[in-house]
Amino acid sequence: MTEETFVRELERRADHVHGVPLSFDDVRGKARSIQRRRRAGAAAAVAAVVALAVVLPAVLGGHGERGIEPAPSPRGDTAVLHDGVVTRADGSRVDLEVDNADVTDVTVLTDGRVVVSLQQPYSIRVYRADGSLQEQYPVQLNMVTASADDSTAAWVAEDFTIRVLESGVTEPVERPGVPMPGEAVGLIDAVLDADHLLVGDGTTTSAVVTPDGAGSAGMPTDFPTDARVTDVSPDGRLWALSFIPRANQQYGCVGLFDLHTFTVVARSCDVSGLTFSPDGKHLLGGYYENNMIGDVTVVDLDLQPVGSVATDRGSVVSRMAWADPDHLLVGVAGLEDGRWSLQRFALDGRDPETVEGPVDGGNPEQVAEYQFSE
């Protein structure tokens, strides 16, 4: 869910973009209906499987052929990919026969299908609910972006156009590509629904893609030109932002943009990579380097720290995600012994529960033995 696995496109988008302008009222209406996807955080530091400690204060207490019958899949809940097997939030499992080392993203649609982006082969694969392969698609970027309610997944196709796959629809539909100069490849930052996608150059969010075209007219009034949308609150009112680093910064600052007031209502330079909790009351952030996450912090809506996730000596966070408003799922790994565990942490500071492991695994700089799709 994430840009650190790709080389960022440094060329800025052209000033002129084509397509039918979309009013921001249309986009805001879509955004308000969003229920957050709660994607996995993208990666953390290198390690040994030792217990993690959550230090938190007590106060935290369609189009196309409709040939697929939606399956009863829990909406918005976290699924886990480990050793080629996806375990859904309801406990059901499906074997995809993929190597975690080849997987960069995984999404479980509400009709039960699983969408996986792969490094080997460089592609997007769609698996049926029973784990059988439905189709493989060539891509420009092996990256999948899903809507907040997991009803829609989108990716950049080999011909630079966007493909959008809806739950209950057999084949993806084509959408216009991300407005970019030359042969540069843009990114899909957020999927509001099948007809409204926020896109940009990997450092800023600058346009809205609809079936009619792509244009900056659909962006909100006074949206900062140096910011990228990283997440959307459950009610759709707040967008989490990541700002381009300034000359004296290694990492950029973060902020929250309010769609009602068209202003940045909170800003911090002490956290990164924000994702909203399912109830929208907190955000989870961390610094992503070398396929791992460091300095994991929970902040409130003023972006003030209210807690953190700390590891014992020699252990690191590989991936993490919101399991529900009060719990986190965390994949941790061991540097010396190569042992991995899946841990579930309560925000009230209770001891973590080991969901699975410890098990043998690879180098966390190269592979994530536990990956999350929500």
CA distances from 267 to 18, 26, 110 (A): 32, 27, 34
**What secondary structure does DSSP assign to 332-344, as a single string?**
EEETTT-EEEEEE
Domain carrying residue 307 = 221-374
Answer for the pair 58, 303: CB distance below 8 angstroms, yes or no.
Answer: no
Q: Is there a single domain that holds both residue 130 and residue 56? A: yes
Q: Provide φ and ψ at 190, rounded to 5°.
A: -160, 145
The pTM for the full model equals: 0.78
Q: Which position has the token pair 């907190």?
A: 282
Is pLDDT above 80 for 178?
yes
In a domain, 9, yes or no: no
Cβ neighbourhood burial of 89 (10 Å; 0-12, 13-18, 19+): middle
pLDDT at site 68:
38
Q: Is there a single domain that holds both residue 118 and residue 196? A: yes
Answer for the pair 335, 354: CB distance below 8 angstroms, yes or no.
Answer: no
CA distances from 122 to 143, 180, 358 (A): 10, 22, 30
Chain segment 71-101, per-residue pLDDT in tens: 333 334 689 999 999 998 888 999 998 999 9
Answer for the pair 96, 38: CB distance below 8 angstroms, yes or no.
Answer: no
Q: Is there a single domain that holds both residue 262 and residue 312? A: yes
In a domain, 363, yes or no: yes
Answer for the pair 170, 164: CB distance below 8 angstroms, yes or no.
Answer: no
Q: Is there a single domain that holds both residue 56 and residue 203? A: yes
pLDDT at site 245:
93
Chain segment 323-349, per-residue pLDDT in tens: 888 888 999 998 888 899 998 888 777
In a domain, 24, yes or no: no
In a domain, 27, yes or no: no
Number of domains in the chain: 2
